[in-house]
A and B are shown apart, each in its own frame.
Chain A
């Protein structure tokens, strides 16, 4: 950071800051220069931090009343819903909070994909972000098991069984995960323990994610480097803080609308039936945010293959900074990538839809096509596109006048084209 050295005003503050530079940190966070052209898609980082803290705080209270035992878990949830003061509110915030967390993280990820935020010099931010995302999925999956409803139990059975596909040692691993020979009380207990632990690991990674972000600074919609300490950037506080709070409040409104008026639409009705190992639900489906991966899992005809492709679909994203060979970050200047971005977005939504459907007939065919396209997009199209795509000219700076107003660039190009080949000397 090219900031001037910060020296606290009072002697006492100087004494303290030279021993533990918390005040310097606080000053850095306030004056951190952010590009002035960030749009509202950039507010989701703050929103996600809010989601994480909300989940930890509500989860802490729920843990005071929840009983992790197969005979009492379901009952203890009903106890929270009925007898704990505002227990229904805390639980609905926690349950819907998971969905909202994923909604925000998907927006955050697709924003990075559109504006090329994963590219040099931000590869480490991207990879840490993906690690957070993977931990989020693990945490959410284990959290969904805790109410010990039918979907909890059968979802846990399906997902833990995936590990049995590993050759030779698969069965032993599954038994080790279960702590027995099926999903049972030991499984519930360890899932509870891990569900409590993982959010704090996520929190640690979030700190690293932000730290890594503060080295190169934010990307921006134009995708070119900004000049720090110029009028192209503005201090994080109060400008971005105010904007983030405004966006966060809009997000909270949507969030609480679900909590108060439709708290169960994002869940599955079967999870209000207590787990019964003898009765299999008609369709076992995970929560909506895991559906695209579930579709990929079932699209592959072999169990091991499905597992490999499912994990590959996430890990392939870690290689994205190197698979995407284009030097231009923002899709605004990449006419073909821009369209392919929307194709990919659509394919992921389609996979989500297919994940909720039984794997048969047209659904299975489409799942396979969509899975194939997903991998082709990252492994074939992006490496080649960077080489052959003719990108639009990049502006000199983010405050380039021609770009700030929509349509002006087109006009400029048109006029310029008319003069092309003219002798500039004859121009008066």
Chain B
């Protein structure tokens, strides 16, 4: 009876399992697939394309920065290792374009001064309320960690930039609302930000829409993870170190354990004998057994 019940449980188990496989396969949300790009910063050895980061900064500055802040980046980051790696002179030239409010001074007055390398990127609006009201109720998010704050990361940002389309028939859009096939809900209040030739690259790269989108996406990934390259480098070294250490520790462990195992060889030999006898007589007719 108990053998039987154990079989029944087996069957129930398998049935539940078989039932759930197709269920889980179909239940995935029907999200549109993002455009997959072979980003240079992905993978174990991923590094940023320096030129692309520099162009990406230019796109941010000329196209995005009118509405979007990157308040956690500092200007000095632009020259740091693992980033766009502009020279100090180049960054100083960049910084000299900006004025920043500082103070209060000894008279208690706020004053304007030119920006320094140590300053954070200047935000287009003084606060979220100002940016919301200036943008028709839709607040343009800060882009410092945008690549980490969206499912799909870099692929999502790139797809979104490339995903503007005429709305399909039957979908009515209000003024100031655009159709984007990658945006959740498909409606977006940001007009198409990049198009062919919207910036002019000084390094001779063709400023196609796809190229611009790629460059600014790369820049945003770096902005959200400025230490990504050292993270990858250190990760690789650490894993190699661990593999060597694990091998050595395993060998030491075997060596230490062999001390104990040798004490039990006598027993083990006895076990082996029993096993041999059992194997020898397995399946034989007991009547012929002598």
Interface SS of chain A: helix
Taking a contact as CB atoms under 8 Å apart, the answer to whether A242 and B253 are in contact is: yes
* Shortest distance from the beta carbon of A97 to any chain B beta carbon, whole Å: 15
Interface digits, B250-266 against A, CB 8 Å rule (1 contact, 0 not)?
A: 10110011001001100
Q: Does A27 contact B (CB under 8 A)?
A: no
Stretch at the interface among A161-169, A175-183, A265-273: A265-273
Taking a contact as CB atoms under 8 Å apart, the answer to whether A231 and B263 are in contact is: yes
Contacts of A418 in B (CB 8 A): 286
Which A residue sits closest to B156, measured CB to CB?
A: A269
Q: Does A362 contact B (CB under 8 A)?
A: yes
Taking a contact as CB atoms under 8 Å apart, the answer to whether B150 and A269 are in contact is: yes
Q: Does B267 contact A (CB under 8 A)?
A: yes
Q: Does A205 contact B (CB under 8 A)?
A: no
Which B residue sits closest to A411, measured CB to CB?
A: B278
Stretch at the interface among B4-12, B51-59, B159-167, B190-198: B4-12
Q: Which of B237-254 touch A at CB < 8 Å?
A: 238-239, 242-243, 245-246, 249-250, 252-253
Give the bracket for the number of chain A residues in contact with chain B. Answer: 35 or more
Taking a contact as CB atoms under 8 Å apart, the answer to whether B260 and A260 are in contact is: no
Taking a contact as CB atoms under 8 Å apart, the answer to whether B267 and A239 are in contact is: no
* Assembled-state Cα–Cα distance A297/B142 (Å): 35
Taking a contact as CB atoms under 8 Å apart, the answer to whether B249 and A246 are in contact is: yes
Which A residue sits closest to B145, measured CB to CB?
A: A272
Q: Does A327 contact B (CB under 8 A)?
A: no
Taking a contact as CB atoms under 8 Å apart, the answer to whether B270 and A401 are in contact is: yes
Which A residue sits closest to B243, measured CB to CB?
A: A253
Taking a contact as CB atoms under 8 Å apart, the answer to whether B267 and A253 are in contact is: no
Q: Which of A333-362 touch B at CB < 8 Å?
A: 335-336, 339-340, 342-343, 346, 350, 353, 357, 362
Q: Does B20 contact A (CB under 8 A)?
A: yes
Q: Which of B1-54 touch A at CB < 8 Å?
A: 2, 5-6, 9-10, 12-13, 16-17, 20, 23-24, 27, 44
Greatest chain B CB density within 10 A among A78, A259, A260, A335 is at A260
Interface residue from A256, A272, A401 paired with B239 (Cβ < 8 Å)? A256
Contacts of B243 in A (CB 8 A): 253
* Assembled-state Cα–Cα distance A411/B279 (Å): 7
Taking a contact as CB atoms under 8 Å apart, the answer to whether B278 and A246 are in contact is: no
* Shortest distance from the beta carbon of B282 to any chain A beta carbon, whole Å: 6
A-B contact pairs, 10 of them (CB 8 A): A249-B245, A260-B231, A260-B232, A260-B234, A261-B235, A388-B2, A390-B2, A401-B274, A411-B278, A411-B282
Knowing that A231-B264, A362-B27 touch, tell me 18 more A-B residue pairs with CB under 8 angstroms: A75-B72, A78-B145, A245-B253, A246-B253, A253-B246, A256-B235, A256-B238, A256-B242, A260-B232, A260-B239, A261-B235, A269-B149, A270-B149, A335-B6, A339-B13, A362-B23, A363-B27, A402-B274
Report B's interface with A, CB cutoff 8 A: 2, 5-6, 9-10, 12-13, 16-17, 20, 23-24, 27, 44, 72, 77, 141-142, 144-145, 148-151, 153, 184, 224-227, 231-232, 234-236, 238-239, 242-243, 245-246, 249-250, 252-253, 256-257, 260, 263-264, 267, 270-271, 274-275, 278-279, 281-282, 286, 289-290
Name the 10 nearest CB pairs between A and B, nearest first: A260-B235, A401-B271, A272-B149, A242-B253, A78-B72, A272-B145, A272-B148, A411-B278, A390-B2, A249-B246
